[in-house]
Chain A
Amino acid sequence: MSRSRRVVLAVVAAGCAQSLAAQPFGLGRAATPAEIAAWDVDVAPDGSGLPPGQGGASRGEALFADFCAGCHGDFAEGVGRWPGLIGGYGTLDSRDPVKTVGSFWPYAPTLWDYVNRSMPYGNAQTLAPDDVYALVAYILSANDLVGPDTHLTEKTLPNVVMPNRHGFARDDRGKAERHLWRAEPCMTNCKPEVEIRMRATDLDVTPK
Chain B
Amino acid sequence: MSDAAPPSRRAVLTGAAAAMVAGRARADDTLITQVQPWSRNLGDPVAAAPYGLPTPHEFDVVRRTVDWLTADAYSSVSFTPIHALDGTITPQGCAFERHHSGAIDLRKEDYRLMVMGDVARPLVFTYADLERFPRDTRVAFCECAANSGMEWRGAQLNGAQYSHGMIHNMEYTGVPLRLLLEEAGYDTSRRWVYVEGADAASNGRSIPIKKALDDVLVAFKANGEALRREHGYPVRLVVPGFEGNLWIKWLRRIEVRDTPVHSREETSKYTDTLADGISRQFTFAMDAKSVITAPSPQAPVRHGDGPLVISGLAWSGRGAITRVDVTLDGGQNWKVARLAAPPAPMALCRFYLDVAWDGAEMLLQSRAIDDTGYVQPTKAQLHAARGMNSTYHNNGIQTWLMRADGSVENVEVS
Contacts and interface: CB of A to CB of B under 8 A. Distances in A.
Nearest to A117: B202
B182 A197 contact: no
Q: Kindly state the interface size class of chain A when it binds its partner.
A: 35 or more
B71 interface: yes
B182 A194 contact: no
B174 to A, nearest CB: 14
B325 A187 contact: yes
Given A201-B409, A205-B156, A19 B124 contact: no
Interface in A54-80: 71, 80
A190 B331 CA distance: 7
B100 to A, nearest CB: 8
Contacts of B276: 93
Q: Kindly state the interface size class of chain B when it binds its partner.
A: 35 or more
Contact of B123 (A18, A28, A101, A169): A28
Interface stretch (B6-14, B214-222, B374-382): B374-382
A196 B363 CA distance: 9
B182 A24 contact: yes
Interface in B374-402: 374-375, 377, 381, 385, 388-389, 401
Contacts of A104: 267-268, 279
A176 B385 contact: yes
B183 A194 contact: no
Nearest to A92: B277
B124 A35 contact: yes
Contact of A168 (B202, B253, B279, B381): B279
B388 A99 contact: no
Contacts of B186: 18-19
A161 B134 CA distance: 47
B76 to A, nearest CB: 10
Chain A, interface SS category: loop
Interface stretch (A40-48, A128-136, A146-154): A40-48
A190 B100 CA distance: 44
Given A183-B375, A199-B409, A28 B71 contact: no
Nearest to B253: A39
B294 to A, nearest CB: 17
Given A29-B123, A30-B123, A118-B101, A44 B118 contact: no
Interface in A11-43: 11-12, 17-21, 23-25, 27-31, 35-36, 39-40, 42-43
Nearest to B335: A187
A66 B108 CA distance: 36
Interface string B233-261: 00000000000000000001101111101
B158 interface: yes
A171 B284 contact: yes
Contacts of B279: 92, 104, 167-169
Contacts of A95: 388-389
A23 B183 contact: yes
Contacts of B154: 197-198
B355 interface: no
The residue among A42, A81, A125 with the most chain B CB atoms within 10 A of its own CB is: A42
A52 interface: no
A2 B118 contact: yes
A187 B333 contact: yes
A30 B71 CA distance: 42
A116 to B, nearest CB: 9
Instruction: Enumerate the 9 nearest inter-chain pairs by beta-carbon distance, A residue then B residue, closest first.
Output: A93-B277, A194-B330, A92-B277, A198-B412, A200-B410, A81-B71, A28-B123, A124-B200, A117-B202
25 contacts: A2-B256, A18-B185, A19-B181, A21-B120, A24-B183, A31-B114, A35-B114, A39-B252, A42-B204, A42-B261, A44-B262, A45-B262, A114-B263, A118-B201, A121-B200, A124-B101, A180-B374, A181-B375, A198-B154, A201-B158, A205-B66, A205-B157, A207-B65, A207-B67, A207-B162
Given A44-B262, A194-B330, 4 more contacts: A19-B188, A31-B122, A40-B253, A101-B268
Interface of B: 64-68, 70-71, 74-75, 100-101, 114-126, 129, 132-133, 154-159, 162, 179, 181-189, 194, 196, 200-202, 204, 252-253, 255-259, 261-264, 267-268, 271, 273, 275-285, 287, 297, 325, 329-334, 363, 367, 369, 372-375, 377, 381, 385, 388-389, 401, 409-414
